[in-house]
């Protein structure tokens, strides 16, 4: 096991890495004469919606993860709440038609089972099936794409949340998230299932688990891995979310979203070899600004906030090769652990009945202490740490904090509304125990206040590129929010609605300008990578604001934004579900890139599953320039 060191700054990068990536991109490096340069024009890309399919369902995760089979020209789209995969004929991309479905409950005789993910490789469809009781073991099921015949299935870990094939199609990997029960009474171990599918009728499962790390909790925490579930072992606490695989099929990486880390997996031995902490993003540094409030007078206020740190907490991840090296691309959504939210006993103070780590800054540092929120939104685990909390008056002096008093920092138009985790940022001793302060803001063993030196928010409101060892190569900084606030950004298929009018809107409400600024902003969640005209492109779906951003990431240290298309059409109706037929696409979740040589129309396509609107959108990728 190796615990990688992590640096705190989002822009940290070594000269060696820059030079290597630049040489690789330019064809340099090594001995001999340099290759003749390839004539190339700047790549221009514009997405165009050419078709779509609607389930007619709103707000129930009816179109989550799409997958494509070129042999049958079929789309397989997860309809999670219905427990099935909708099968769409994509031979005419402008008019996808539903021609069948895969129902886990029926096919596997598992009443109440749900399908969380789907992947396809040369006519073989793999689905990840969650048991009716999510803490029970799940299943992987294999179907023939051509006629939807069930070929075989096998038991895997609890809550398999994502499934993918190795490049050769011989192996399927599943991220078994192992979420706890809502009352946190049962907490399964997270794991990665590695399934040999060379004989689909008899799949063979091996498990890469985390039990070898159970004695390493202290070292993991010291390295920056978030191990914090109540009473959990390391194996229980780590929750694999998404998997990317190297081009040679030997290595996989899984995002451990809530833990803010990657797991590195050797596929041949089914072993987790590394846990790679991702560190944080300093929102007090120029280039990493954010809008921190949803109630600052409906204004866009993108600025630095010293002392505020963003946890990357990535959801989707994809891999690609540049200069002979593997790079990992993440959508840094952010996610809080929140179990027991509907359990009255938990909010009444029974810490055994749940665990909620999210809290607003204004409630955390109120001079009246935590008890003013008792019975409302006060996590009982926080109350056991102290009577109240304060802000470091040196770090937060810029917004008015003084010894013993947060000043204006807790105002709604400053940091008050920002959602942060109470589990990090307070001062601790060498053993990890809180250092206590008194009401006057002085360190005092008899005191009952925590001192927050930093505040940790959810997600980085960005996408990042990492090397194979989990070291940050590049991050988009504040570019997402700055672009969405700019005059260059337009919404709707016709691109005729100013983005700034609906900046950081929610995906399930109308006229919601700025409503997500206190949470995770535009909330990047899904990601897909594809080759177009000799360039490597990343497509990033923004779950809350909606739409897809396109970046050229051919040179990992110097990505370039190429396009943004958001095909939500109605931005004002309070309940978009009442105008579903005309609302457009809301809440992109999963994306799949279809290269030109596998496309039904001979040009590259992007398919997006929109979980809120229940729609599957088909975009043509119109590209000029690049290397052909």
The residue segments making up the domain with residue 345 are 339-457
| CATH number where 178 lies | 2.130.10.10
Side-chain-side CA neighbours of residue 490 (13 Å): 10
Is residue 526 domain-shared with residue 604, that is, in the same domain? Answer: yes
- Choose the final residue of a domain: 457, 478, 508: 457
DSSP reduced 3-state for 373: helix
pLDDT at 577: 95
Place of tokens 């590195």: 264
Does 61 map to a domain? no
Which of 395, 430, 457 marks a domain boundary? 457
- Are 141 and 181 found together in one domain? yes
- Together in a domain, 443 and 473: no
For 107, phi then psi, to 5°, come to: -65, -35
Tell which residue, 401, 451, 405, 444, has the closest CA to residue 428: 451
Judge whether 198 lies within some domain.
yes
> What's the pLDDT at 17?
28
Statement to judge: residues 428 and 543 lie in one domain: no
Number of structural domains the chain divides into:
3
474 and 419 belong to one structural domain: no
Q: Would you say residue 146 lies in a domain?
A: yes
Exposure string for 509-537, b = 16+ CB within 10 A, e = fewer: ebebbbbbbbbbbbbbbbbbbbebbebbb
The pLDDT, as a whole number, for residue 85 is 97
Please tell me whether residues 88 and 104 are part of one structural domain: yes
* Pick from 458, 410, 448: nearest CA to 426: 448
Is 588 among the domain residues? yes
**Residue 6 domain flag:** no
Residues 123 and 106 in one domain: yes
pLDDT score recorded for residue 169: 98
- Here the tokens at position 295 are 């109630």
Q: Is residue 27 a part of any domain in this protein?
A: no
Asked whether residue 354 falls in the same domain as residue 370, the answer is: yes
Cα distances (angstroms) measured from residue 201 to each of 140, 154, 198, 555? 12, 10, 9, 42
Chunked into runs of 10 residues, the chain (628 residues) has average pLDDT values of 36 30 33 46 95 96 97 97 94 98 90 95 98 97 98 98 98 98 95 98 98 97 97 97 98 98 98 98 98 88 98 98 98 97 95 97 98 96 98 98 98 98 97 96 98 98 98 98 98 98 95 96 98 98 98 98 98 96 97 98 98 98 89
Q: Do 227 and 79 have their domain in common?
A: yes
pLDDT at 38: 52
Q: Are residues 589 and 509 in the same domain?
A: yes
Residue 503 and residue 560 in one domain: yes
Q: Is residue 26 part of a domain?
A: no
Between strands 449-452 and 388-391, the pairing is: parallel
- Please tell me the distance from the alpha carbon of residue 303 to that of residue 296, in angstroms, as a whole number: 13
Is the Cβ–Cβ distance between 499 and 485 less than 8 Å?
yes
Among 457, 483, 514, the domain boundary falls at 457
- pTM for this predicted structure: 0.93
In this prediction, residue 81 carries a pLDDT of 79
Using alpha carbons, select from 207, 266, 224 the residue that is nearest to residue 1: 266
Is 544 among the domain residues?
yes
- Pair of tokens at residue 346: 């938990």
Q: Report yes or no: 270 and 206 within 8 Å, Cβ to Cβ.
A: yes
pLDDT of residue 145: 98
For residues 412 and 435, state if they share a domain.
Answer: yes
């Amino acid at each position: 096991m190796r615990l990688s060191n992590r640096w705190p700054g989002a822009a940290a990068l070594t000269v060696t890495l820059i030079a290597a990536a630049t040489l690789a991109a330019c064809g340099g490096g090594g001995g001999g004469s340099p290759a003749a340069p390839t004539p190339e024009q700047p790549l221009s890309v514009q997405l165009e919606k050419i078709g779509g399919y609607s389930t007619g369902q709103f707000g129930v995760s009816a179109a989550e993860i799409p997958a494509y089979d070129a042999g049958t020209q079929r789309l397989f789209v997860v309809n999670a709440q219905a427990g099935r995969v909708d099968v769409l004929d994509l031979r005419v991309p402008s008019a996808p038609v539903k021609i069948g479905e895969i129902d886990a409950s029926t096919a596997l005789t598992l009443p109440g089972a749900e399908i969380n993910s789907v992947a396809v490789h040369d006519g073989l469809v793999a689905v990840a099936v969650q048991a009716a009781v999510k803490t029970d073991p799940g299943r992987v099921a294999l179907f023939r794409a051509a006629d939807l015949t069930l070929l075989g299935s096998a038991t895997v870990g609890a809550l398999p949340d994502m499934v993918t094939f190795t490049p050769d199609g011989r192996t399927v990997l599943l991220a078994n998230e192992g979420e706890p029960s809502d009352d946190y009474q049962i907490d399964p171990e997270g794991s990665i299932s590695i399934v040999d599918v060379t004989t689909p009728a008899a799949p063979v499962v091996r498990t890469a688990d985390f039990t070898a790390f159970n004695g390493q909790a202290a070292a993991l925490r010291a390295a920056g891995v978030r191990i914090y579930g109540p009473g959990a072992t390391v194996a229980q606490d780590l929750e694999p979310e998404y998997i990317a695989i190297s081009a040679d099929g030997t290595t996989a990486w899984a995002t451990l979203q809530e833990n803010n880390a990657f797991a590195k997996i050797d596929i041949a031995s089914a072993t987790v070899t590394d846990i790679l902490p991702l560190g944080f993003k300093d929102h007090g540094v120029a280039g990493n600004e954010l809008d921190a409030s949803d109630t600052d007078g409906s204004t866009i206020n993108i600025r630095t906030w010293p002392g505020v740190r963003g946890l990357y907490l990535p959801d989707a991840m994809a891999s690609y090769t540049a200069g002979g090296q593997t790079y990992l691309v993440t959508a840094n959504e952010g996610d809080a652990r929140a179990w027991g939210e509907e359990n009255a006993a938990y909010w009444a103070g029974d810490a055994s009945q749940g665990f909620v780590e999210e809290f607003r800054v204004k409630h955390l540092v109120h001079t009246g202490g935590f008890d003013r929120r008792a019975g409302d939104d006060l996590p009982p685990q926080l109350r056991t740490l102290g009577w109240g909390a304060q802000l470091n008056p040196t770090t937060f002096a810029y917004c008015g904090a003084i010894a013993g008093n947060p000043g204006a920092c807790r105002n709604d138009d400053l940091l008050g509304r920002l959602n942060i985790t109470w589990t990090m940022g307070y001062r601790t001793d060498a053993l990890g125990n809180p250092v206590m302060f008194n009401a006057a803001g002085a360190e005092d063993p008899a005191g009952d206040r925590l001192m927050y030196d930093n505040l940790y928010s959810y997600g980085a409101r960005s996408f990042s590129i990492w090397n194979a060892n989990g070291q940050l190569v590049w991050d988009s900084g504040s570019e997402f929010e700055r672009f969405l606030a700019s005059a260059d950004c337009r919404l709707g298929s016709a691109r005729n609605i100013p983005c700034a009018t609906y900046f950081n809107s929610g995906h399930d409400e109308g006229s919601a300008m700025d409503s997500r600024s206190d949470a995770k902003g535009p909330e990047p969640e899904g990601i897909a990578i594809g080759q177009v005209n000799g360039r490597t492109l990343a497509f990033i779906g923004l779950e809350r604001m909606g739409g897809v951003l396109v970046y050229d990431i051919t040179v990992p240290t110097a990505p370039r934004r190429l396009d943004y298309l958001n095909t939500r059409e109605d931005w004002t109706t309070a309940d978009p579900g009442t105008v579903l037929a005309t609302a457009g696409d809301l809440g992109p979740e999963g994306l799949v890139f279809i290269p030109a040589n596998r496309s039904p129309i001979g040009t590259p396509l992007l398919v997006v599953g929109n979980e809120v609107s229940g729609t599957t959108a088909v975009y043509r990728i119109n590209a000029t320039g690049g290397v052909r």
